[in-house]
Chains A and B, each alone.
Chain A
Amino acid sequence: MRRFVPPRRLALLALVAFFAACRAREPEPIVLNEDQCGYCRMTISDARFGGEAVLPTGRVLKFDAPECMLSWARSMPADQRGDLYIIDLQHPGTFVPVTTAGFLTGGSMQGPMGGSVVGFASAAKAEEQRTMLGGRVTTWAELLADTASMGHH
């Protein structure tokens, strides 16, 4: 009988696959009207907003609005935040790493937390939408530093 793959190579392959799986720190799709925001506990219901933190442990935290992810991130030490992703307003459900995403703040969009921070695939895309939505183009780092961006009261 012919063997297709030597068992040793198969074991190696399995091992590689196992570690690859462990390292796959990808955001998970948000299940609308099921998943809860990891910060404010609201059920997430609008696919155009929100984001995810993929923690160093592999656990995924979901957020309903950029404002909630910002508040959460500010409350965590930088090395425990993991990889952060924001939803692209123009492609609901699509995640963009916050480091490369562009943001609009102070425009006319109303997010789930009453704020106006929205994410785009890049700063250039944010700039394109600014003509229609108004506001100011900004980055994740700037938003993190600006502690006044959570909703209002």
Chain B
Amino acid sequence: MRHALATALALLVAAQPALGDDLTVGAGARYATISAALEAARPGDRVLVHAGTYREPTLVIRTPRLTLEGQGWPVLDGQGAREVLVIAADDVTVRGIVAANTGISNLQDRAGIRAREVRNCVIEHNRLRDNLWGIYLQRSADCAVRDNDVEAHGLRQTESGNGIHLWYSPGARVENNHVRGHRDGIYFEFSSHGLARGNVSERSQRYGLHFMFSDSCAYLENTFRDNNSGVAVMYSRGVVIARNRFQRSWGSAAYGLLLKDINGGEITDNVFERNSTGLFVEGSSRLQVRGNTFTQNGWAAKVLADADENTFSGNRFSGNAFDVTTNSRSANSTFDGNWWDEYAGYDLNRDGVGDTAFHPVRLFALVVEQHPAALLLLRSPLVSILDAAERVLPVLTPEALVDRRPLMRPPR
């Protein structure tokens, strides 16, 4: 009985990481260097780093359940020559540090903070400055990356890595980070069952968010703006993309959201605003596109003919140069019960649904798809006449792309 009690007590102690020692680092503190403190630390300890600039060889945390915490934003400086901090043990927390200045390399992917083949790491409230790669999770499961501020500038375009990069790291939670100026702001590659929520990713050299080969992930309530090419979600199954803002991606290869080879997904309640193309769908099937707002885009939605069984309902389309376009008459996505500001029909029975169908694909949009230079004629009266004629009597535009129940008022 006494033995059992002792065991229970021991377990309780083991389960309580706060009972470790605090090891202080800084001028006049117990340790002069972070390396020395990490060397001395035991599982469950906290290494508290005071303000100052630390120029040490790449720091590697090899002690499980360790917390590395900065007080007053200590700067860990890679001096343009090396990776700054590596987490190489399970259950490690890093917070409150500034990891800076890894410098560039053609053959090494240097990161400000890297988690290397670990579980349950927490990387929170840090600042990453001018690193080739910001935070890099490499084959690390169930980690949390939150409330970090990640910025790169001054690096040449050819030599920038990603802000928050996940590679074979399932179950990650990436929340409330702010990322600016990297190649891709946030990148999930081969990382399933992840969550990206509440992040702001802007001014990326390429994509604000980029997902490749990452099944069953959710991207919620993020803001992506002024990213050179927008956001790309590719080669994945079962994605949920809800309540995000995709804003101001302009350029011939820029999309608010590019979906390529996505099998099954929900795209709901997002805002697509002021992009060259709001939503681009290629080779994707069984997508539910619901309750989104498409406003002031060049093309609100481009849905290529190889996209299959996709449903658009309850969306709002307003102020776009083109609402919907495609590349073939045989396109077969379904549009049902959306609101279109271009709709000029009537509602005699006052049920809120227009009595005549709406054809969202303008004839001219198809012409432009084949001959981009024709865009010059966008405001020509002849084009308006052609479009009007085509809407009344569709000859060339895809028959299937028609909304038979257009809403008279924007939903909600």
A residues near B, CB below 8 A? Answer: 32-36, 40-43, 45-48, 92, 110, 113-114, 132, 151-153
Q: Please name 16 pairs of A and B residues whose Cβ atoms are closer than 8 Å in the assembled complex, sorted by A.
A: A33-B157, A33-B205, A33-B206, A34-B252, A41-B282, A42-B234, A46-B158, A46-B183, A114-B190, A114-B212, A132-B107, A151-B212, A151-B213, A151-B235, A152-B213, A153-B213
Contact residues of A: prevailing secondary structure: loop
* A67-B177 Cα distance, complex, nearest whole Å: 32
Q: State the Cβ distance, A133 to closest chain B Cβ, in Å.
A: 8
The 3 closest A-B pairs by CB, nearest first: A43-B229, A36-B253, A45-B206
Q: State the Cβ distance, B272 to closest chain A Cβ, in Å.
A: 18
Q: Given that A32-B157, A36-B253, A114-B190 are contacting pairs, would A45 and B205 also be in contact in the complex, using a CB cutoff of 8 Å? A: yes
* A32-B189 Cα distance, complex, nearest whole Å: 21
* A29-B184 Cα distance, complex, nearest whole Å: 22
Q: State the Cβ distance, A67 to closest chain B Cβ, in Å.
A: 12
Contact: A92 with B213, CB < 8 Å? no
Q: Given that A42-B234, A45-B183 are contacting pairs, would A32 and B253 also be in contact in the complex, using a CB cutoff of 8 Å? A: no
* A103-B384 Cα distance, complex, nearest whole Å: 54
Contacts of A46 in B (CB 8 A): 158, 183
B106, B158, B228, B282: the one contacting A43 at CB < 8 Å is B228
* A120-B282 Cα distance, complex, nearest whole Å: 32
Q: State the Cβ distance, A30 to closest chain B Cβ, in Å.
A: 10
Contacts of B258 in A (CB 8 A): 41
- Beyond contacts A43-B228, A48-B106, A92-B106: 14 other A-B pairs, Cβ-Cβ < 8 A, are A32-B157, A32-B158, A33-B157, A33-B206, A34-B253, A36-B253, A41-B260, A42-B232, A43-B206, A46-B183, A110-B109, A110-B167, A152-B190, A153-B213
Interface positions of B from 244 to 264, Cβ below 8 Å from A: 251-253, 258, 260
* A113-B232 Cα distance, complex, nearest whole Å: 13
User: B299-339: contact bitstring with A at CB < 8 Å (1 yes, 0 no)?
Assistant: 00000000000000000000000000000000000000000
Contact: A33 with B229, CB < 8 Å? yes
* A130-B190 Cα distance, complex, nearest whole Å: 25
Contacts of A153 in B (CB 8 A): 213, 235
A36, A41, A92, A114: the one contacting B158 at CB < 8 Å is A92
* A54-B167 Cα distance, complex, nearest whole Å: 33
| Chain A residue at minimum C-beta to C-beta distance from B207 | A43
Q: In the complex, how many residues of chain B place their beta carbon closer than 8 angstroms to a beta carbon of chain A?
A: 26
Contacts of A113 in B (CB 8 A): 212
Contacts of B158 in A (CB 8 A): 32, 46-47, 92
Q: State the Cβ distance, B277 to closest chain A Cβ, in Å.
A: 11
Contact: B253 with A40, CB < 8 Å? no
Q: State the Cβ distance, A63 to closest chain B Cβ, in Å.
A: 14
Contacts of B213 in A (CB 8 A): 114, 151-153
Contacts of A32 in B (CB 8 A): 157-158
Q: State the Cβ distance, A49 to closest chain B Cβ, in Å.
A: 11
Which one of B157, B158, B207, B251 has the highest number of Cβ atoms from chain A below 10 Å of its Cβ? B158
User: B225-248: contact bitstring with A at CB < 8 Å (1 yes, 0 no)?
Assistant: 000110010110000000000000
* A35-B234 Cα distance, complex, nearest whole Å: 18
* A34-B250 Cα distance, complex, nearest whole Å: 11
Q: State the Cβ distance, B83 to closest chain A Cβ, in Å.
A: 16
* A153-B237 Cα distance, complex, nearest whole Å: 10
Q: State the Cβ distance, A5 to closest chain B Cβ, in Å.
A: 37
Q: State the Cβ distance, A39 to closest chain B Cβ, in Å.
A: 10
* A153-B189 Cα distance, complex, nearest whole Å: 10
* A43-B254 Cα distance, complex, nearest whole Å: 8
Contacts of A48 in B (CB 8 A): 106
Q: State the Cβ distance, A130 to closest chain B Cβ, in Å.
A: 14
Contacts of B157 in A (CB 8 A): 32-33, 45
Q: State the Cβ distance, B14 to closest chain A Cβ, in Å.
A: 38
